[in-house]
């Protein structure tokens, strides 16, 4: 799939997409430190997350390939305190077969476009090192704003988390 194909096949997540999303994410939970979850969330947990996102106006998008969902990007609440309601935390995950295929950027651009207006600032937490994610975020206009040292422990090592920020409106 080309990046142009991916850009044409980006749409809002439906509950029918959640098994594919769960599968994509499970790989990252089980084999990488890019997420600090230690166990893959159940399908019920994904359903709850998706319904909460819909009710709060947070966009969730998928990119479709020939065989179904190949990636997803979401916005979620950054902090539940009311003064933070215009700030979202963003994330993106791609199926292993889709990494490096030009799908991530158009998917993330579509997410940021949908988030602009209802939300003012997008934040991204990146477990470090993760040069691919850093490059993607910076190409999309995010700026590094800080690093939290050794705040997570996964796969036998302490992990730093960098924070990136982008104003949406």
pLDDT digits (tens, 9 = 90+) for 116-140: 999 999 999 999 999 999 999 999 9
Percent of the chain topping pLDDT 90? 93
Answer yes or no: are the C-beta atoms of 147 and 163 closer than 8 Å: yes
Look-up of token digits 């995950």: 93
The SS3 call for residue 164 is: strand
| Spatial CA neighbour of 87 closest among 126, 121, 56 | 121
Supply 3's token pair.
């990046």
Torsion 49-52-56-57 (CA) sign: positive
pTM of the model: 0.94
Answer yes or no: are the C-beta atoms of 88 and 24 closer than 8 Å: no
Torsion 11-16-20-22 (CA) sign: positive
Ordered by where they begin, the domains of the chain are 3-124 (3.40.630.30)
């Amino acid at each position: 799939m080309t990046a142009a194909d991916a850009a044409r096949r980006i749409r809002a997540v439906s509950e029918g997409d959640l098994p594919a999303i769960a599968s994509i994410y499970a790989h990252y939970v089980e084999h990488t430190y890019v997420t600090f979850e230690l166990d893959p969330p159940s399908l019920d947990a994904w359903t709850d997350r998706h319904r909460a996102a819909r009710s709060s106006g947070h966009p969730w998008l998928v990119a479709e390939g020939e065989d179904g969902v190949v990636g997803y990007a979401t916005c979620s609440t950054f902090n539940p305190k009311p003064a933070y309601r215009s700030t979202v935390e963003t994330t993106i995950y791609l199926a292993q077969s889709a990494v490096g295929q030009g799908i991530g950027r158009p998917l993330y651009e579509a997410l940021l476009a949908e988030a602009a207006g209802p939300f003012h600032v997008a934040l991204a937490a990146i477990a470090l090192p993760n040069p691919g994610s850093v490059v993607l975020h910076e190409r999309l206009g995010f700026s590094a704003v800080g690093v939290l040292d050794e705040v997570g422990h996964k796969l036998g090592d302490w992990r730093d988390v960098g924070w990136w920020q982008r104003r949406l409106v």
